[in-house]
Structure 1
Amino acid sequence: MLDLQAVDTTIAQLQHRRANLPEHAQLAKLAADRSAASEALVEAETKVSDLELAQRQSETDLEPVRQRRIRNQQRIDDGSVGDPKALAGLVEEIQHLDRRIGDLEDAELEVMEQLETAVATRDQRAAASAELEQKAAEVIARRDQQVTGIDGELSDQSTRRDAVAADIPAQLLASYDKLRAGHGGVGAAELRNRRCTGCQLEVNAADLRDFAAAADDEVLRCEECGRILVRTVNSGL
């Protein structure tokens, strides 16, 4: 029984180690960081997209004004407008168009400056996001390597458990498994120096006399914790 308990303890330790690898916590933290970085990147990309659209709209707004200005200037230059009043009106309109073009170009320049800043921010956030993805990939690789190693050990221990359990009567094995499930993974404990190593309580003298007189194949139980007690040369009987 102690051999089986030792194997089960090793299996429990391996399972605990597998579930509590530092990489799990690192990946949880990285997942939050990656999510935040992804949201920030999407926000930056959206801003760049909006500003690119605004820049194109600025060009769209400017083009007809420039073309009208060119046409008016050509009419003045080719002398096709003979009426002085009409000519003065064209000159005045050109001045108005020049102011309008200036305002639109200033607005476009402001958009271009904002776009330049937005692109720089987007690129920085993209680099930060890529760095986090690389970190996550490295941590995942380390985790998977350790998990593979632990799974290999678990497989070996499982095989060993099957071999050890095969020599234990089915009823005793079932009782042991039930006890183990309800007692923190320990269903069988050594009686060592008159003490149950499961609950660490000393066995009273009367029980010790009964244990000493019991047949070798009799299943003993700790009166305090209920675990199966296994006698050894160190039991103090």
Structure 2
Amino acid sequence: MKADPSRQWRLLDLQAIDTRLDQIAHARRTLPQLARLAELEEKAQALDSLLVRAQTELGDIQREVAKAEADVQLVRDRAARDQSRLDSGTGSAKDLQALQHELDSLARRQSELEDVEIEVMERAEDAESAATQLAAQRDVLAAEIAEVTAARDEALKELDAEAVRVGAPRPDIVAGVGEDLVALYEKIRASSGGLGAAPLRQRRCGGCQLELNNVDMSRIKSAPVDELLRCEECRRILVRTAESGL
């Protein structure tokens, strides 16, 4: 392929732009905030699961508390009625004796139920404290996620702005290089790690960084200025410069 020197030199300008755009794209994919957010989101999911379990357990225990309180209240109400009947003195001595016996039984039953109520209420307090602590941790984590998300968005905004600025001259350079040479450049770039064209400086290919031997240097020196050269090692387009060492 033939390409006048100006087109080849502009190809190096295009490569410089594409290299920086690739670097920006890599920076977008590898922002430290992205890794941190992934870590925080994982923690948040685990914390959410713990919080749901804690709240569910608290709800179950609170229902136990309500039942225990209701059981105690039933015994208290029954004892109050029996005490009222006993205090009124209505009934036979046998009936009054039976009431007193029932009151003694109710007192023991009330004591037992109150012990159960206290135990359940203590468990409820512990469960509520655990759920409150987890909720507080979740709030702190949510605040950190919001902070890191804002930092990520700002970093992406800056990178996107730089990409627009760097890529602005690209269409004009592509037009100056020409479709045929750009097509070859893009093909090589796709198969060579993003580097399709490289300068020849001090007898060294700017792509593979290998020094050319005397035979290759002689061949390049004798080649017409508009001949498109390729590195024998990496097959990238090789552009002659004032520092080529020819």
* TM-score computed with the length of structure 2 as normaliser: 0.93
Deviations 1:173-208 (A, max 9, x none): 011011111111100011111111111112222222
Correspondence 1:210 to 2:219: yes
Q: Specify the alignment match of 2:171 in structure 1.
A: 162
Letter in 1 for 2:242: V
Letter in 2 for 1:58: A
Give the drift of 1:163. 2.1
Contact 2:44 2:138 in 1 (8 A): yes
Kindly tell me the number of residue pairs found equivalent between the two proteins.
236
Alignment of 1:62-81 (within 5 A): 62-81=72-91
Range 85-94 or range 128-137, more displaced: 85-94
Aligned-residue identity in percent: 44
Aligned to 1:216, the other structure's residue is in SS state coil
Alignment of 1:3-152 (within 5 A): 3-81=13-91, 83-152=92-161
Aligned to 2:146, the other structure's residue is in SS state helix
Query: Residue 231 of structure 2 is aligned with which of 192, 206, 222?
Result: 222
Aligned to 1:190, the other structure's residue is in SS state strand
CA distance in 2: counterparts of 1:71 and 1:207, whole angstroms: 115
Range 206-215 or range 91-100, more displaced: 206-215
Q: CA RMSD in A?
A: 1.1
Give the drift of 1:216. 2.1
Correspondence 1:175 to 2:184: yes
CA distance in 1: counterparts of 2:178 and 2:228, whole angstroms: 11
Range 105-114 or range 140-149, more displaced: 105-114
Give the drift of 1:157. 2.0
Give the drift of 1:215. 2.1
Unaligned residue ranges in structure 1 (runs of 5+): none
Unaligned residue ranges in structure 2 (runs of 5+): 1-10
Structure 1 runs, 4 residues or longer, greater than 3 Å off: none
CA distance in 2: counterparts of 1:47 and 1:160, whole angstroms: 63
Contact 2:89 2:96 in 1 (8 A): no
Give the drift of 1:148. 0.5
Letter in 2 for 1:30: L
Deviations 1:30-83 (A, max 9, x none): 0111111111111211121111111111122222221111111111101112x2
* TM-score computed with the length of structure 1 as normaliser: 0.96
